[in-house]
């Protein structure tokens, strides 16, 4: 474990729980612990081994340096930059002004038609920022899991997460909006429509739709909000781990 002057008590705050809530769908799906810094309890050795394997397989992260490099890539580029490039091209040739049916007819034979549909729907929902949460949520998740695996310190995890979280909170107005951006990004990443990943996207989308109805009080209970342990989206995100003089 990378040394840090902070302890677990410093991670016990609404702000840090907000960080973890950004990837609650992922945490719950993979049977990890909701509300924790990275998804693990201190004694969870089984999931720790699985998390290390996943970080190596999906991110090529197995130590501090690649964890920092990948974090920097997500902050500077991620997939949102490619999305914006494609949106610019599609806007210039007038394709994004088409109806969705006509747009999809044009790209139906394209091997990346699944991605093009995601681009169209994302753009007409959130414009240029539509994939921002996809990158930023993965950034917070990567930081949390890199901490759990001992690659970065708790101080680094929390310090680097705060500006990212504030950016997301300023761009999206609710948990469901943030998650919707994440789903658009997931679909953009799954450009060819791999069946298993497409099924995952459908599962995520279903949860986003339910959560949106709960937020609008269109359903009688708020079981998904409670299941994901989601708190107030609009809390003031502040440095709660350094003492009153630095908050």
Average per-residue pLDDT in the chain? 92
pLDDT higher at 13 or 180: 180
Asked if pLDDT for residue 97 goes beyond 80, the answer is yes
Structure tokens at 36: 């924790």
pLDDT higher at 25 or 95: 95
Residue 166: inside a domain, yes or no?
yes
User: Average pLDDT in the 217-234 region?
Assistant: 93
Residue 218: inside a domain, yes or no?
yes
Residues with Cβ within 8 Å of residue 23, at least 6 apart in sequence: 137, 138, 140, 141, 144
Percent of the chain with pLDDT over 70: 95
Residue 87: inside a domain, yes or no?
yes
Asked if pLDDT for residue 75 goes beyond 70, the answer is yes
Asked if pLDDT for residue 246 goes beyond 90, the answer is no
Residue 3: inside a domain, yes or no?
no
Domain count across the chain? 1
Cα–Cα dist 223/164, whole Å: 28
**pTM score, two decimals?**
0.92
Range(s) of the domain holding residue 140: 8-246
Residue 80: inside a domain, yes or no?
yes
User: Average pLDDT in the 183-192 region?
Assistant: 95
Residue 57: inside a domain, yes or no?
yes
pLDDT of residue 40: 86
Cα–Cα dist 55/160, whole Å: 19
Query: Residue 247's pLDDT band (boundaries 50, 70, 90)?
Result: very low
Packing angle between helix 64-76 and helix 45-59, nearest 10 degrees? 60
pLDDT of residue 1: 57
Residue 1: inside a domain, yes or no?
no
Asked if pLDDT for residue 99 goes beyond 90, the answer is yes
User: Average pLDDT in the 217-229 region?
Assistant: 92
Residue 2: inside a domain, yes or no?
no
pLDDT of residue 243: 46
């Amino acid at each position: 474990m990378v040394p840090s002057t902070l302890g677990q008590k410093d991670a016990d705050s609404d702000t840090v729980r907000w960080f973890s809530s950004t990837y609650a769908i992922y945490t719950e799906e993979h049977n990890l612990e909701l509300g924790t810094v990275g998804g693990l309890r201190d004694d969870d050795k089984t999931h720790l081994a699985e998390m290390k394997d996943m970080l190596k397989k999906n991110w090529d992260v197995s130590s501090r340096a690649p964890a920092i490099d990948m974090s920097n890539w997500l902050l500077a580029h991620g997939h949102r930059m490619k999305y914006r490039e494609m949106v610019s091209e599609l806007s210039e040739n007038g394709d994004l002004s088409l109806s969705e049916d006509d747009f999809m007819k044009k790209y139906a034979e394209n091997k990346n038609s699944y991605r093009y549909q995601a681009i169209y729907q994302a753009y007409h929902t959130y414009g240029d920022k539509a994939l921002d949460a996809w990158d930023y949520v993965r950034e917070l998740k990567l930081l949390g899991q890199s901490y759990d695996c001992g690659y970065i310190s708790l101080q680094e995890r929390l310090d680097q997460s705060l500006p990212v979280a504030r950016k997301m909170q300023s761009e999206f107005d609710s948990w469901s909006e943030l998650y919707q951006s994440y789903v658009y990004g997931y679909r953009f990443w799954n450009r060819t429509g791999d069946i298993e990943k497409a099924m995952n996207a459908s599962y995520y989308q279903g949860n986003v739709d339910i959560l949106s109805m709960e937020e609008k009080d269109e359903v009688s209970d708020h079981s998904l909000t409670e299941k994901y342990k989601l708190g107030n989206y609009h809390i003031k995100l502040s440095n709660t781990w350094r003492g009153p003089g630095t908050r």
